[in-house]
Structures are given as C-alpha cells and as structure tokens.
Amino acid sequence: MQIHLHQTHHTIADFTAIRQTLQTALDRPGLHVFPELYLTGYPLADLCLQSPFIHSYQKFLKEIDAWAQKLPKSSETVALLGGLAYQLGDEGIPVSIRNVIYELTPGAPLRPLYTKRLLPNYDIFDEQKYFTPGTTPGVWEWQGKRFALMICEDMWASSFHQLDPALDLAKIGPFAAVINLSASPFEVTKNEARIARARTLSQLLKAPFYYVNRVGGEDEILFDGQSFAVNGDKLFGQAPAFAAHTLSLPLASATEYAPIGSTICENTWESLFAPRFSSEKALPRRLQTWSDAECALVARALQFSLQEYASKNGFKKFLVALSGGMDSALVLTLAKLSLAPGQELEAVYMPGSFSSPLSWDLSMEICQKLGLKLTSLPIKFLHSNIRMAFQNTFPQPFEGLTDENVQSRLRGMLLYTRSNQTGAMVINTSNKSELAVGYSTQYGDSVGALSLLGDLYKTEVYRLAEWINQAHGGLIPKGIITRPPSAELRENQKDQDSLPAYERLDAMLEGILSYRFHARDLTTMGFEASEVKRVFQLYAKAEYKRRQFCPIVKIKAKSFGFGYRVPLSKHPGFYQD
C-alpha cells in the first residue's frame, strides 16, 4: 500500500485551485492524505462565520461530493481530506462547525470520518471560538487495516484541557499506521519538535506515524510543510520546507517499539502560552546563536512569507527604504533573493540633515552588489520647511523628539507616495528589539504592508546577515555590519546611547516575552536592576506602537502580532515588582 502525503499550497477559499489539485492527485492508486482544512484553507478566523463564505464552501463541498460519486468505483484509491463540517439550522445559520477529516472514496459519497478533539486556543489560535470539539478517538478502516486518525493539535496532549487523544487511541490499538493531518504554524525549531513527538507517539501506538502539513503564508502565519513519516525511532521520509510536494511512501511494517508510559504525553506547545509557563528558568544571559541550518531556514521562511503576501494580495513590485543600516540592508537582500521573474524591487534612500555620507555610500554599495538602482529622495528641504512653518505658527520649540520623529514620518510619507505611484508593496524594516522597547516612530519607520524582521531580535538580524554573506558571497557590505547602529535623527545619535547593548537587551527581552520573567528573575540572572527597570518601562510604554503595527512574520513561539494581546490602558506599577 502506497501512502501519498500531499503537502499542498493554496490561497484560503481558492476553491477552483483546491479542486484541481485534488482531482490531479487522485490519478494514482493509494491512500492520499491532504492537510487539515485542506478544503477551506487555514486560519479562517471570522470568515467561517460569514454567510458569503459558508454559502460558497457548501456549494463547493457538494460539487466535490458529486464528482466523487461519479468516479468509477475503486477499492485501490481513497483520500483523507481536511475540511469543515457545518451543521446548519434555520436560514443557513450554523449551529455548529466541526474541523473534520472527510473520506473520499471513488464512486461513493463524501463522508466525515473524524472530528478534531483538541482545539488549540492559545496565542494565535482561537479554535474554540469557532469549532465544536469531537468526543471520540479517530479510528478508520481501509483495505482491512485499522488506522489511527489525528488532526494537528490532537498529537499534543493538553493538561490544561485534560485531554490526551493519543493515550485514548493507545487503549484502542493496534493500528497499521497513525495519520496526522496538520496545519501547523512554522517556528524555527518546530520541525524537530514535531518529529520528536511523532517518534514518541509511534512508540506509544506501536505503528508508523505519517504527518502531512500544509504550505502557505497567511499574513503573519507561515505553514512550512516539512511533512514526514517515522516508524519507532526511524525517520523514513521528509518533504521540503515551504514548497508544495507529494511524499509517496509505502505503508511501513511494524518494527521494534520502545515501551512508552503515559507520562510522556505532557503538554508541549501550551507550556509557553495557556495558563502555564515554561518552567525553564535557566535562560542564558546571551541568546542562543542560530546554527547555519537555522539561518538558512529563517532566510527561506522570510523570503517565502514576502512572496506569499505579495501574490495573495496582488503585488508584483516591492519597495524598501534604505538607511545605510543593518535592518534595511537585510530586508533588501532578502527581498532581492526572493524575486520571481517579472517582479521588481526598488530601493530609495531618503537622507536628512543627520544622515552621514557613509550611509549613502553603504546604501550605494549594497545596491550595486544586488544589481539594484538606488534613488535618493532627500527630506532635508521638507524638514526645514516644516520646522519653519511650526516656528512661525506655534510658540513651542521645535526640538528633541518633535524634530526627530518628523524626519521618520516624512520618510514614511514619501515611501507611501512612491508606493501609490508604482503599486509597490512597502516592506517594513523594524526588528523585534525595536518593537519591544518602542525604538521607532509611529507612522514613520513603522509603516509597511508586512514586517519581515519583526520577530528577529537585533542580534539575530546580525547573525542572519552574517550567514547570508557566507552563503551568497558577501552581498551585504562589511561596513554596514560593523558600523554602530543609529537612527541618524540627531547629531551623532547611536542606539546604544539610549538602549542597553543589544546582546543584553535581547536576552532580557526574551526573558520578558517568552519566559514571562518578572524584574527579580532578571536581576537574579545577573542583569543590572536599573537596566531591568528601564527595559520594563520602555516595554510597557510601547504598547500603543505595537497595536497599530503592520503584520509581523511569525517565526517563533512568542511573537508580537495577532497572538500577543496586552491592554494599553493599565496601571504599569506591577512591571517593577
């Protein structure tokens, strides 16, 4: 028996393309497995409650059903498809929505087999808002064999929900195989975590474990594919990351399985999110440095996310504002490396009164290396005009933040004016360290359709740049990497004048964001109390900037963006406690 894991790549609700892929795939005999919510796309959020969507989807489902019934009967071919099952009441009003696996047998009606039991509801996940959970384990028979079925999160037992679908299945076994249909968001180290977990479940359920994951970039959230199969400890197939692919494998025979107790089925993903914390308090004072393989994966993820947003939102041109600094240089390089035929990438440089000649030289240098033209659009004249107008109109002095922010906002405005002219997508260049401490100007350098680096700390931006230079022959000028970071909004300004050194800052931020440390945790780890206090102050004060920020490509468990929900209006005293 052949098992085909179809790691598919479609736009949400692109029913025509979804049908075509399905119809093409079923030309071959075997057991075809498609990802979670293959038939709709994921995540849908409120779309699954909107009548236009329900209407179209129900029509589509009927078409698939009619098509399947007309196929010549065959016992050699079957497909497992992730989809939604609506129970509709009066006037098409949904009474319940279930996240299910449909069985498609040629010559037979489409049949829902199994309903997802463990509905993730932490961080970016809101599945309990929309879906009704299943109550019975997923067991399915085909060609005289029994299979255990799971949908995504089902493989991660939840102590919070006191539900462990794998343990329930273990009581029902044996199985010929375990099949998991996933739509699992990308994180840098998630592939290893999935495989490790699958190994455990393969041992527990004493059967090979087949895992298929969707591919796609949905605003902030990436799905990386990387479908795989394990048998006991052995990984015997893995599909590539960020590309549609069909992984065809034989049904593996039972092998030696290590004995596994029930204790291993502990909650994993939720440990960082739902009402539990990671218990790991041994955060190193420096962040762990990404390996070359991790850098390659991150670079691939960021390029993929850019192309996904562009193609799904109708952009063929990209626009980046270069400052002569590290962040914009990296964004430009990633964008250039991602370009498809027919796409255009434009770089503009908008010097102000405090821009050093070096910034221009370095911007020119990177554009030459990348084969891009650089256009200069100075803001000096506009800046001094505004200063004069304000000095003539208002009694208050035009200085400090007023004078700094206006330069950043002029750049944002010019960038979007250029975007209006060409229809180009503006790529944001902020990083996670800046977002965390509010080291940016609202409506200034914070503008953009998508933030590529918003989940990378500044030290990680440097690490990725270093790797790119290694892998792509020094595209990013050394001068950009070695110069001290500066916003160049006042004379001789340096980031390190107002922020702790990035190495320390990033480690503290990771402690605050991912480990949810409080002030004393950080001082216990050896950070200066005054520095800790300042970082918490900056972090708390910047909430309003994050609220209006553009979508951030998520590459980690805890990111700013949709899954980060902190009120603006609050008494900030507790942050210092």
Among 253, 396, 482, 492, binds its own copies (CB under 8 A): 396
Is 152 marked active-site?
yes
Of residues 6-25, those binding its own copies (CB under 8 A): 11-15
Contact string 151-170 vs its own copies (x = CB under 8 A): --------xx----------
Q: Does 380 bind its own copies (CB under 8 A)?
A: no
By the 10 Å C-beta count (0-12 exposed, 13-18 middle, 19+ buried), 474 is classed as: exposed
Q: How far is the CB of 267 from its own copies (least distance, A)?
A: 11
Contact stretch for its own copies (CB under 8 A) within 236-244, 290-298, 473-481, 564-572: 564-572
Question: Quick one: tokens of 196?
Answer: 């490790």
Of residues 30-89, those binding its own copies (CB under 8 A): 41, 43-53, 55-57, 59, 89
Among 19, 146, 534, 547, binds its own copies (CB under 8 A): 547
Q: Does 308 bind its own copies (CB under 8 A)?
A: yes
Nearer of residues 290 and 562 to its own copies, judged by Cβ: 562
Provide the 10 A C-beta neighbour count for residue 39. Answer: 23
The Cα 163–Cα 178 span in angstroms is: 18
* CB-CB contact of 342 with 351 (8 Å): no
Q: Is 109 helix (H, G, I), strand (E, B) or coil?
A: coil
Is 116 marked active-site?
yes
Provide the 10 A C-beta neighbour count for residue 232. Answer: 18
Nearer of residues 69 and 405 to its own copies, judged by Cβ: 405
187 contact partners, CB below 8 Å, separation of at least 6: 554, 555, 556, 557
Burial 360-370 (b: 16+ CB within 10 A, else e): bebbbbbbebb
Strand partners, 238: 228
Among 549, 552, 556, 559, binds its own copies (CB under 8 A): 549
Q: Please tell me what DSSP assigns to residue 13.
A: T
Provide the 10 A C-beta neighbour count for residue 52. Answer: 9
Among 67, 142, 257, 564, binds its own copies (CB under 8 A): 564
Q: Does 412 bind its own copies (CB under 8 A)?
A: yes
Question: Quick one: tokens of 454?
Answer: 């918003």
- Strand 228-231 and strand 234-238: the pairing is antiparallel
Only one residue has tokens 């075809």, namely: 32
By the 10 Å C-beta count (0-12 exposed, 13-18 middle, 19+ buried), 534 is classed as: middle
Q: Does 574 bind its own copies (CB under 8 A)?
A: yes
Nearer of residues 507 and 550 to its own copies, judged by Cβ: 550
* CB-CB contact of 104 with 68 (8 Å): yes
Q: Does 253 bind its own copies (CB under 8 A)?
A: no
Q: How far is the CB of 21 from its own copies (least distance, A)?
A: 14
* DSSP string covering 120-170: --STT--HHHH-PPP-S-EEEEETTEEEEEEEGGGGS-BTTTTB-HHHHHH
Q: How far is the CB of 112 from its own copies (least distance, A)?
A: 16
* CB-CB contact of 148 with 207 (8 Å): yes
Among 289, 291, 375, 498, binds its own copies (CB under 8 A): 375
Among 69, 268, 405, 493, binds its own copies (CB under 8 A): 405
Only one residue has tokens 């493989």, namely: 155
Of residues 209-248, those binding its own copies (CB under 8 A): 217-219
Q: How far is the CB of 513 from its own copies (least distance, A)?
A: 10
Q: How far is the CB of 327 from its own copies (least distance, A)?
A: 19
Q: Does 401 bind its own copies (CB under 8 A)?
A: yes
Contact string 264-303 vs its own copies (x = CB under 8 A): ---------xxxxxxx-x----------------------
Before 120, cis peptide (omega within 30)? no
Is 36 marked active-site?
yes
Contact stretch for its own copies (CB under 8 A) within 183-191, 285-293, 319-327, 562-570: 562-570
# of chain residues touching its own copies (CB under 8 A):
114
* CB-CB contact of 99 with 138 (8 Å): no
Of residues 421-460, those binding its own copies (CB under 8 A): 421-422, 442-443, 447, 449
Q: Please tell me what DSSP assigns to residue 272.
A: G
Tell me which of 36, 153, 220, 270 is the catalytic residue: 36
Of residues 489-518, those binding its own copies (CB under 8 A): 516-518
| Amino acid letter, 181 | L
Contact stretch for its own copies (CB under 8 A) within 179-187, 408-416, 467-475, 482-490: 408-416
Question: Quick one: tokens of 69?
Answer: 């019934």
Q: Does 309 bind its own copies (CB under 8 A)?
A: yes
66 contact partners, CB below 8 Å, separation of at least 6: none
* CB-CB contact of 434 with 440 (8 Å): yes
Tell me which of 152, 295, 367, 550 is the catalytic residue: 152
Contact string 106-145 vs its own copies (x = CB under 8 A): ---------------xx---x-xxxxx-------------
Nearer of residues 2 and 385 to its own copies, judged by Cβ: 385
Q: Which residues are catalytic?
A: 36, 116, 152
